[in-house]
Amino acid sequence: MMSGRKNAAGRTSPWLLILISVGCFFATYNFLTMHGRGRDGPRKFLGGGDRGSYGSGSDPAKRFHVALTATDALYSQWQSRIMHYWYKEMRGRPGSDMGGFTRILHSGKPDGLMDEIPTMVVDPLPEGKDKGYIVLNRPWAFVQWLQNAKIDEEYILMAEPDHVFVKPLPNLAHGDEPAAFPFFYIKPTENEKILRKFFPEEKGPVSKIDPIGNSPVIIKKAQLEKIAPTWMNVSLKMKEDQETDKAFGWVLEMYAYAVASALHGVHHSLRKDFMIQPPWDLKTDNTFIIHYTYGCDYTMKGQLTYGKIGEWRFDKRSYLQSPPPRNLSLPPPGVPESVVTLVKMVNEATANIPGWEDDR
């Protein structure tokens, strides 16, 4: 059964595959450099991404680069467009330490958003390596980006397409202590037996592993440069280990980041105010990011019908085939402010992004 599932790539050492991929990567890189120069210069594709105007009061030493890992799937594209729109709106406002922006596109080739969003194309993992679990490409994407991009800022925010900035985001990290959002479902101490395969006794108690994923995290670039290769290693090993794969499922890659950072002795300060997740969190007044990963389903009386399709709904998964249309209907009265704000912000972005409904 196992050997039937494994292809040739599955048996090769991951490091050999990485070497091969690095070769392919430089081919892509050179191609893009040429391509970029032929059009409007390499800056759009490479380097530190977007160097726009920043908040005048912001201390350059505290600025962080916004790094968004994404794919060329339509579903990832429309979310990335909204995410980038709100970054542009917020970065220049007082209180922001937001610096440049790069979409790290791990589909291996440019897509239709290259002129809209500062993007660096990186390679996906070798065929079959992600075993259908696309997010396993994230650590490898960060490794390639950190090795090859010129990043002006000392800090990095790891962000995801379904993040919407509701406020200008300050640098929540303090020196060498990065900041992360604690996820209630990441429970290192309840998974000691499995985690010990990747976090040996001599490293200390598994409680040293923070209950986090890689995003959202604001971290020093120098720290991420050390963590990212380990994160990639750990995530591939976890995916190859059947027991771990089964136990962690879709949050495997989050555990991999948590373990990798702990292996490097990096502890994150846990910031619950980093983001909120509607419909569970009701208000936006004490947060910076809305993460719209859960569906929001309500009756017309404003009652949550979670898990059951509501008479009114906003769920990103409704838009796998086409982006959400402009001017979505607002929720009925009684729906929490967080959900109302989310839909208003989606509408504002889609109203102002040129060519929103065009094919990309």
Q: How far separated are the first and last CA of the chain, in Å rounded?
A: 40
- Look at the alpha carbons of 193, 195, 198, 202 in this order and tell me if their dihedral is positive or negative: negative
Is 274:203 a contact under the CB 8 Å cutoff? no
Strand order in the sheet with 98-105: 119-121, 98-105, 64-70, 155-159, 217-220, 179-180, 269-270
C-alpha to C-alpha distance for 265 and 94, rounded to whole angstroms:
33
Least CB distance to ligand NAG at residue 262 (A):
13
Least CB distance to ligand NAG at residue 241 (A):
12
Q: Does 329 bind ligand NAG (CB under 6 A)?
A: yes
Least CB distance to ligand NAG at residue 85 (A):
17
Question: Per-residue string for binding with ligand NAG, 201-230, x by CB under 6 A?
Answer: ----------------------------xx
* Closest CB to ligand NAG among residues 164, 234: 234
Q: Does 244 bind ligand NAG (CB under 6 A)?
A: no
Least CB distance to ligand NAG at residue 346 (A):
13
Residues near ligand NAG (CB under 6 A), total: 6
Classify residue 246 by burial, with Cβ atoms within 10 Å: 0-12, 13-18, 19+.
exposed
Tokens of residue 279, six digits: 């419909």
* Closest CB to ligand NAG among residues 85, 274: 85
Least CB distance to ligand NAG at residue 82 (A):
17
C-alpha to C-alpha distance for 188 and 29, rounded to whole angstroms:
38
Q: Does 350 bind ligand NAG (CB under 6 A)?
A: no
Least CB distance to ligand NAG at residue 147 (A):
13
Q: Does 233 bind ligand NAG (CB under 6 A)?
A: yes
Q: Does 10 bind ligand NAG (CB under 6 A)?
A: no
Q: Does 96 bind ligand NAG (CB under 6 A)?
A: no
Q: Does 327 bind ligand NAG (CB under 6 A)?
A: yes
Strand partners, 158: 67, 217
Is 249:313 a contact under the CB 8 Å cutoff? no
Q: Note the residues at the interface with ligand NAG (CB under 6 A).
A: 15, 229-230, 233, 327, 329
